[in-house]
Structure 1
Amino acid sequence: MVAPAVPEIVEDELHESVDSRTEQLMVLRELGPPDLVHLVKAPIRGNGRQIGVYHHVTGVDASSSASLAAYINTLTYREPGATATTKITEGLYCCYNALSRLDMRVHVTIPGTVKSYFVDERGEQKKATDEMWLETYLCSVLRAYSYADDGSGETIRKIMGVRRFNPVTSTETEHRFLSAAEQLFFRGWQLGSDSTVQVPTVVSNHLVSGLLKYFETTGRYASGINLFQKLQTQNPEIASLLSKVLFMGNEEVEGVRVLYEGLKQQPMDYVMLDTQADFLLRKARTAAAPEQKEERLRLALGCADRSTIAAPSEFGTWARLAEVYVAQEDWENALTILNSCPMFTYQDKDAPIMPEPKEVTLPILPETRLDEIDSEMEQRFNEQVDPSLLNLRASAYRGTFKHAYNILTEMTAKIGWDQLLKIRSNVFVMEDEYRTGGQDSSSVAETPSKEATETNGNNASTDAIRGNSDEPNGESNDTEDDGSDVGSDDESKILDTDDAASPIKGDGGVEKPTTAADAGEKTTEEGAAPTSEEQLSRLNNKRLCERWLDSLFMVLYEDLRVYTIWRTQMAQYRAQSMQYKKSAEEWEILGSLAERLQHEDEAVEAYRACLGQRFSPRALAGILRALQRMSGAAQEKVGAVIRLVTWQYRWYSGFSPELLYAVRSLIEDEGGVKVGSLIQATNLPQHVLDLTHHYAALCATFHSSGTEG
């Protein structure tokens, strides 16, 4: 299989990239940045000045110094022959060991010797041991999955010049990976966890996430079951992971039995309870009979409720409970539980911070040449975008805030914005109610959960809503972000267009949500009417809306407002048999907006309009996600996968778990022979088709379902 091209970032001063990496070792939090490969080049003739070039890489075998030295050696063969003016004289490979918090380094002199050592957080060099290499290998595989792109290109654009390889390409390398994971499994909590997990545990950490991602991507469920069965003998908590893999492999009866036995031993294990609730919720959504659905949701509610008691400070347990209430259509309880979710500041992946390069060379591999892809960047730079579309804050949500926003949009999709506002006013104290309801805020609403208070750093339920709104990552912004600013005159000017729907209720738009009670204002308005006992009783049964949730309502209003204007304008243009024109990037943003609001048909429509003007990996990935949720359309799925695989290779990524999963799912549904024929039948250059054939061959190597024939 052809390897991706090698990008080159030229240093202004020799070794400055390595020095910068050494300085950053003290601030790395979790899995660390991608591996750094630094090369020293010298002129072939004469004694000219040496130059330093580097690139980043993931997925290279980091099990020993020899394997890393071999990677550097392959780079020397990629240098052009007769036309070359420089040659590689030295190479340094840096690979972070997140378990011991060390940077493992292999220095290669060409021709000459290989030297391996590690650098600690103080920058001191010491000799590496076999145990350290085992840790380094495991961390490198996990990073390869963590830093892999989902096909949309969002991850690729974050770090310039990263070559991505598949770290597990055969059953032999799988055995090595799972063996390392087994040996180091109970140290996995040291690696940290996803942004939605407050405290890493043995069963909730980056190692577990990487293992589950691997089994889901490759379909190697038997290997996962075997691994977790062995680990379960050492710790009964592993039952939750074993059951998850059993559910992935459609062995539901055995999965339920494992959970049952596990909960008998650990009745308050929140991960097992959450796994059980998730399983029941999924079964309820696919239930044919209403009675079946109701019974499964009742059981899921009990499990989810118990998991919040077992782990009151974890976001996932509260979010699951809110999802169950949404499925039950108990909207008031769903909002109440969502309001109780403890929110965490989003921590992004460790990324390298490098000095300003002197020069950047981003070569194009001939095998990735495709006209529609090559013209993408040039067209993107010439596009005009409506500022109102660029200012949609929900697109920046990550972690717990993104999950909570998805729950809110699911409710909106089911009951509508107006009904959601009514339920919101039934559950939470509104500003006008608070101003006339009494002077003492303590008599207005119940105290929020202790965990939510501790997580936010203050008592958000008794704090001002009209003050600073939480940012998408959970950090408070020092600048004023008043909820009343949403829908202000300035924003109206941005959004107003010819024949646009008015954003006022009753005229085809959406109603702006009123501000929740501001507990920071202790005085009532002058001349307020005396408060009746009935009013006080009603207020005593309401809660104060958390500041972050009130901000989410305002952001949702912004999304719905822009969406409503877009759909109304389109309807008006169609009624007049006129073409509705937007730039490709505007269509891309509108597709993302519709997908975020859970309007799948409208999202696909916008994505197709974008692709009609230019190639967009983000739009194509959105269409592929929609196609994967439905049966059939095999030819269109194959076409989307081929183009996304080619675009990934164009930007040095030879591995995407999501695209590998898409190919494996196609093979399971259609059969390996048919998928191979569909790929070959596509009217695209053969060198492009070979890139996707490689993904199909990988499924055959792993004996995926559908490849036997």
Structure 2
Amino acid sequence: MVLPAVPEIYEEEDVFTAVDARTDALQNLRELGPPDLVYLVKQSKTNPTRQTGVYHHVTGIDASSSASLAAYVNTLTYSPVDKQNKVISGVYCCYNAFSHLDMRVEVKIPGSLESYCIDERGDKRVATDALWLETFLCAVLRSYTYADDGTGDAIKKIVGVRRFNPVTNTEMEHKFLEAAERLFFMGRQLSSEPETQVPNTVANHLTSGLLKYIHTTGRYASGINLFEKLRTKDVEVSSLLARVLISADEEVQAVRLMHDALQDVPMDYALLDCQAAFCLSKGEGELALECAKRSVTAAPSEFSTWARLAEVYVALEQWDLALLTLNSCPMFTYQDKDIPRMPPPSRVLLPILAESALDEIDEGQPKQGDPHDFVHPSLRKLHATGYQGTFLKAYELLTKIAAAIGWDQLLKIRSDVFVMEEEYRVERQQTTKPSHSHNASTVALHPPASPNTATASDDGDTGADHSDRPNGTENGIGNLEPTEASTIEKPEHTVASETVKSGNEDPDPSHGDYAQFQNKRLCERWLDNLFMVLYEDLRIYTIWRSEMAQSRHQSLDYKKTATEWEILGELAERLHHFDEAIEAYRQCLSIRFSPKAMRGILKLYEKQGDTRGMLNALIRLIAWQYRWYSEFSPDLLLLVRKLIEEEGAVKVRSIVQATNLPQPVLDLTHQYCQICATFRSTGSDV
């Protein structure tokens, strides 16, 4: 198997500056830590006094001992592109997120090896076996959690990262799962996905990584065995076991497990959420609704429970309750993955191995020093492209509602359930007597029944008092006049929550419609912003489609740069216009190769069940990933495994081999097929 090329980032003036920068950054790490840093010191063969520092990052290396890390450093001593220098020493740095230590191995070539760890203050400590066990597990989790999904977004974020598959055989799997079992109940120390506010036993980076590994490789029996053992120690693990059983098509056993476990822990929100998701997947919306409501009651401060309830209401087409539930979601500040903060390098060398060279991928790519693609300012300022975490999930739900009922109907329902600014002003003027009842959010908990306005508090689901939320999000008032595009484009002032007194004042008896106003909620400012971002997305999308139609009518070419087509494809996909997204992605690929556009085309082939089309796209994506030093992407491996399950390994290999592309490029895809054979995936028996 050919390994990816080695990127080299040079420090020609100050040696070890990158290592010092990593040490300084240790105290700011909050997640699993950055990729491993490998730093080499090279000495000129002609001038022994001249030394140069060279480094790159890497994931997926076996970090179970100092010997395995030193072995990786030794593989770098010979460079096919640098004949003028020789490596005289190397440092391998690997972060232990459990103990917040940076494990380091210093290698002298030839000669000695020293291993130690650096704490957040920069002090040296002794590296023990227990610390190496933690480090090994963190290294595997980083490989899966921080891997690229095939679009190239993760690869482009950090320059020069080699990505390897950390679990290549069943022996390594046993080692990984054994470490996970021993350290499982320490998992909450590793933080969690951005949608989880407080990491717990079943929601943290350890459980996320385990589930992703099991789902990617299809090693369900190993996962079931692991969680069965852990469940004997803590019944809460039942939710993880149930999810694996459902994925393994053991649904009857999963339903029985969830039922039995809820007898012991009736308010386990993870179990209730798993039940809701399962019922929803079976089209049982009413059953899912009851489970989702109980889940919200069990964990009212978690975003995931509210988001699931909103998803159920969307499935039931109860749009008003879906909006009210979405408005009640507690939103968390997005914590990005830890990335290395390095000083500016002297130069960067990004070599290409002949095995990954493919003219189709390289042609048309901008050369160094070339100007970037022109992108129209209106496309650059689409804020939805930058959403992450809870805001991304909330926006996805909002766009799903808009796609189902249309923008006009969405605004109508919005004005029915939320207080509009003009309404607030009118009521403000007409209220006269202050009283000591509830504030506006509390009034929403138990409003009088109204035939005109549906309220979620009747079901006890979306009426959470905002003051009870740990994140303390502010309430705003809907500041858009729904029919005025100009005000949506540039919103007026939003009334701050401190000035809102509508719930603290008695209604004017002369105002007959006040009961309806009293039943309305205050729209959270973040949701108000989502409406405006959605409006901008829809506006740009409509302009694009109108211009396209006009160009076709006049038999003119509609020209955009590759980057603009990529952005338009993302926009259409975000708004659930799948066919238009594919059209834009194809236009992008006609100009030059784009992993994001090819990933979009891959979704089309997957939807159509086109095996040959999927493999053609996968071959190119795998080659592009390998060209940028990544031999492993869990998402691409999952797609290859699913194809082998459906079509059989012989057919998949035959289609790949029959493709009119260079053999080394085809061999890269065969490596993914070989992983499935190693793990004895369904359909891989030859």
User: What is the TM-score with the length of structure 2 in the denominator?
Assistant: 0.91
Q: Hey, what does 1:70 align to over in structure 2?
A: 71
C-alpha change, 1:438 and 1:532, in structure 2 (3 Å) is: farther
Counterparts of 2:278 and 2:371, CA distance in 1: 46
Q: Which residue of 2 aligns with 1:436?
A: 426
Rate the CA distance shift 1:457–1:674 in 2: closer, same or farther, 3 A: closer
Deviations 1:4-37 (A, max 9, x none): 1111111141110010111111111120000000
Matches within 5 A, 1:231-246: 231-246=230-245
Q: 1:537-576 to 2 correspondence within 5 Å? A: 537-576=515-554
1:346-385 superposed matches below 5 A: 346-378=334-366, 381-385=371-375
Are the counterparts in 2 of residues 58 and 140 from structure 1 also a CA contact under 8 Å? yes
- 38-47 or 570-579, larger mean C-alpha shift: 570-579
State the distance in 2 between where 1:637 and 1:30 align. 34
How far apart, CA to CA, are the structure 2 residues paired with 1:335 and 1:184? 41
Question: Post-superposition shift, 1:276?
Answer: 0.4
C-alpha distance after superposition, 1:260-299 (max 9, x if no partner): 1111111000000000000111111xxxxxxxxxxx2111
Name 1:609's counterpart in structure 2.
Answer: 587
Structure 1 position 682 matched with structure 2 position 659? yes
CA-to-aligned-CA distance 1:69-119 (integer Å, 9 cap, x gap) = 000000113445xx7110000000000000011100000000001111111
* Structure 1 residue 627: Cα displacement: 2.5
Moved more, 633-642 or 382-391: 382-391
Inter-partner Cα distance in structure 2 for 1:130 and 1:49: 38
Measured at CA, do residues 571 and 71 of structure 1 come closer, stay the same or move farther in structure 2, by a change above 3 Å?
Answer: same
Q: Which residue type is aligned with residue 318 of structure 1?
A: W
Letter in 2 for 1:63: S
Consecutive unaligned residues of structure 2, counting only runs of 5 or more, are 446-462, 503-507
1:300 is matched with which residue?
A: 288
1:411–1:531 Cα change, 3 Å: farther
Question: Is the Cα–Cα contact under 8 Å of residues 478 and 522 in structure 2 kept in the other structure?
Answer: no
2:576 aligned partner: 598
Offset of residue 577 of structure 1: 2.6
Retained in 2: the 8 A contact 1:96–1:102? yes
Query: Which residue of 2 is the match for residue 700 of structure 1?
Result: 677
Please say if residues 434 and 444 of structure 1, whose CA atoms lie closer than 8 Å, have aligned partners that are also in contact: no
1:355 partner letter = P
Alignment of 1:633-672 (within 5 A): 633-672=610-649
SS at match of 1:163: strand
Change (3 A) 1:92 1:444: closer
Displacement after TM superposition at 1:533 (Å): 3.0
Deviation per residue, 1:416-446 (Å, 9 max, x gap): 1100000000000111111101256967663
CA distance in 2, matches of 1:308, 1:458: 18
Query: Could you list the per-position Cα deviations for residues 188-209 of structure 1 after superposition, in whole angstroms to 9, with x for gaps in the alignment?
Result: 0100100000010110000000
1:191-244 C-alpha deviation (Å, 9 max, x unpaired): 010000001011000000000000111111111011101111111111100010
CA distance in 1, matches of 2:623, 2:265: 48
Aligned ranges for residues 122-133 of structure 1 at < 5 Å? 122-133=121-132
Matches within 5 A, 1:463-478: 463=476
Q: Tell me what 1:283 maps to.
A: 282
Q: For 1:436 and 1:345, how far apart are their aligned partners in 2? A: 35
Please state how far the C-alpha of 1:178 moved relative to its aligned partner. 0.4
**Which residue identity lines up with residue 205 of structure 2 in the other structure?**
H
Aligned CA distance change for structure 1 residues 200 and 456 (closer, same or farther; 3 Å):
closer
* 1:52 Cα deviation after fit: 0.7
The SS at the match of 2:58 is: strand
Pair 1:585 & 2:560 matched? no
Asked if 2 retains the 8 angstrom alpha-carbon contact of 1:344 and 1:455, the reply is: no
Which amino acid in structure 2 is aligned with residue 275 of structure 1?
Answer: C
The reply on whether 1:403 has 2:393 as its aligned counterpart is yes
Secondary structure at 2:155 match in 1:
coil
With 438-447 and 382-391 compared, the bigger mean Cα shift is at 438-447
Equivalent residue pairs, number: 654
2:3 corresponds to which residue?
3
Report the Cα distance in structure 2 between the residues aligned to 1:465 and 1:653, rounded to whole angstroms.
47
The equivalent of 1:460 in structure 2 is 474
With over 3 angstroms needed to count, the CA separation of the structure-2 counterparts of 1:65 and 1:518, relative to structure 1, is closer
Closer, same or farther: CA 576–46 of 1 in aligned 2, 3 Å: closer
After superposition, the CA RMSD in angstroms is 2.3
Distance 1:306 1:535 in 2: 34
Seen in structure 2, the aligned counterparts of structure 1 residues 245 and 458 have a Cα distance that, compared at 3 Å, is closer
Q: Distance in 2 between matches of 1:106 and 1:374?
A: 37
| Contact 1:435–1:523, Cα closer than 8 Å, also in 2 | no
When residues 706 and 613 of structure 1 are mapped into structure 2, their CA distance, relative to the original with a 3 A threshold, is same
Give the structure-1-normalised TM-score. Answer: 0.89
Report SS of the residue matched to 1:438.
Answer: helix
Distance 1:47 1:700 in 2: 49
* Structure 1 residues 699 and 459: alpha-carbon distance in aligned structure 2, compared to 1, 3 A threshold: closer
Q: Indicate conservation of the 8 Å contact 2:140/2:166, yes or no.
A: yes
Moved more, 565-574 or 622-631: 622-631
The 8 Å contact of residues 516 and 545 in structure 1, kept in 2 or not, is answered as no
The one-character-per-residue Cα deviations of 1:336-374 (angstroms, maximum 9, x if unpaired) are: 000000000000001110011111111111111111212
Contact preservation (8 Å) 1:95, 1:136: yes
Matches of 2:625 and 2:679, distance apart in 1: 22
Give the structure 2 partner of residue 230 of structure 1: 229
CA contact (8 A) 1:433 1:517 kept: no
Q: Distance in 2 between matches of 1:120 and 1:443?
A: 49
Give per-residue Cα distances to partners, 1:553-579, cap 9 Å, x unaligned: 000000000011111221222223322
Question: What stretches of structure 1 of length at least 5 have no aligned partner?
Answer: 285-295, 467-481, 493-511, 525-529
Q: Which residue of 1 aligns with 2:318?
A: 330
Deviations 1:153-211 (A, max 9, x none): 10011111100000000011101000100010010010010000001011000000000
Q: Distance in 1 between matches of 2:169 and 2:468?
A: 47
Question: Given that residues 420 and 481 in structure 2 are in contact (C-alpha distance below 8 angstroms), is that contact kept between their aligned partners in structure 1?
Answer: no
